[in-house]
Structure 1
Amino acid sequence: MHVHARSAARARTAAIVETYTMQRSRMRQLLATELDVDVLLAAASLQEIVRWLRSTRRDAWPELVVVGIHDGVDPVRLRAVLVPLRAQDVRIMAVVGAPDRRDAPRPPAELFDGAAAVDDAETAFVETVRAVAAGRDAVTERARRTLERHAAAPRLSVQEERVLSLYASGMTIGAVAEAIGVREDTARVYLRRVRAKYRAVGQTASTKIDLARVAWRDGYLSSDAGSVRSREA
């Protein structure tokens, strides 16, 4: 469970990020009429909310963000938006759709305080938002099942994440070793461990194409293959 500095008070301001116009409009209406929440922004894209956040004082950021998660959402960009919000104790509520395919990008569920499914009843959506706004974790049963449909990801060490990110982005193993400051043999050991961990959870990671696919899906590689993510050591 996430602990928020502002958890004692109910969130009264919110922002919405939702691609689909009708869903975005209805979310805004429900937050305003059912929960008495002031919606400061209803954005159609991650880029739109990023621009708004950059132009807004942090003490004026919303206390709650409701974000629609669809297959087309880039997991790297999504993390880049959510992590700074979490650092400011903003509560995150996800509305998740079922993945259209097995290799769909995995939502960063560890950053969510709550989740509802796209096909949940409006009453379930409202009650889940109400709980998250009050500082409680809440996930509907349909959202839980939806999140579980995404293939399980292995737990990688910091160095394994860095090797996967860089190698999958197109670098040679020698260049990867130089970039992270280790010998090439050591980088190869990390790469073998990555492949073994993916095999252990039933996922193919034999070729560089396989690694690029799982790295993108699991949020280590941007869809433009030019942006990588790894944790700080």
Structure 2
Amino acid sequence: MTPDPDAEGTVRVAILDDHALIVDGLAAWIGEHAPDLDVAIRTTQWLDLIRHPEFPVDLVLMDLQLGDSVSIESRIRACRAAGASVVVVTALDDAESRERCLAAGADGFVSKTQPLGEVVGLARRALLGGRGGAVAVDGDPAAGGVAAPSDAALSAAERRAVALYVQGRSTADVAAAMDVGYETAKTYLRRARDKYAKVGRPAGRRAELIRRAAEDGMLE
């Protein structure tokens, strides 16, 4: 179901930017001027977003360039696969970056030089575009911890299947990309989920599996 800013209730938003000042400034503006939006997550780290117990949200306002090795395409696809709309807010406002983000599934692309009202307006239009829709996720106790996650010991094929699946591909698409049968791809994903469950890392839902993939460096 597409979240509607005009409907009763609020739209849950996450803000991801590697500058805390920008995160806090945008959150403060939303809190004062946009009662239809609720900032549920504010963070400077990609992994903290994915592991946050409030993820997935309805909308992610995401910086283009973060200080990690995960590409913007993987970040967008992972959020979209979890059910969140994505608007990229960036200082690098060029045609190539815009095309990369939109091709990966971003619902909007806006320069940081724009007034905050324009940024939020674009976010509302992205939500009304019909692409987003949040899915319920249980809180992840690991979200607030600092310990390294337990190794699920996935095989190479299981890791590959998970990496493809968390980008939003169907099981049939995963099978085609791996050049295996549908049942084989389904088995890889089932085994991966089972292995994660055995080490206390839930992965039954797509959003949970996205968290596990992010934790284990499967997003590139």
- Give the TM-score of the pair, scaled to structure 1: 0.46
TM-score, reference length from structure 2: 0.48
Q: Which has the larger radius of gyration?
A: 1
